[in-house]
Amino acid sequence: MDVTTDPSAPWLIAGLGNPGPDYAMNRHNVGFMVADLLAGRVGGKFKRAGKAQAQVVEGRIGPPGPLNRRVIVVKPMSFMNLSGGPVNALRDFYKVPVGNIVAVHDELDIDYGTLRLKLGGGDNGHNGLKSMTKVMGSDYHRVRFGIGRPPGRMPVADFVLRDFGSAERKELDYFVDRAADAVECLVIEGLERAQSTYNS
């Protein structure tokens, strides 16, 4: 089901992660990686978003004509467990329907590099989603980037806050690129088409 009601309304794409160089290559920051790539594709550079605790890039994606979409790419700078505040502030500022919000985030219960796109649902213990749902409800889109489960008895918190391993990094650029493609497909062509193309 697509809940997008106004084709002229902008889309807000929120890559979830933690700010600062210590976290940059963490598994938990894959949303930031996808956001960085999308910002480059629309030809913009991140800038501070006024009073909102976030960095934003505004631009357009899609071919000229009715499928061309205005997008705001966002990286909340509040740390993961407070992501909802900045995203909701920008939703209000840009007048974005909740159905035009896309959260890009890491997902433990999916194999590394696998994508799953969906609308709504629970947070599966993800603190960024939990924060977003608390302030705006759950009816936003998600692009879930699989990172797999931690090995052995490693605590989940340790696993997600560690950098991708050397073997994973060999394919990381490809998977991040594919996730950005999936976001673009979702925004331009809708959830059903994006799911059929990228859900693997």
Q: Which of 28, 105, 126, 141 is catalytic?
A: 28
Q: What averages of pLDDT result for each successive group of 10 residues across the chain (200 residues)?
A: 62 96 96 96 87 90 88 95 94 94 96 96 91 95 96 92 95 97 95 93
- Where would I find the H helices in the chain? 30-41, 84-94, 127-136, 156-160, 166-189, 191-198
pTM for this entry: 0.94
Token pair for 88: 């909701």
CA distance 89 to 105: 19
**126 catalytically annotated:** no
Per DSSP, 99 falls in state G
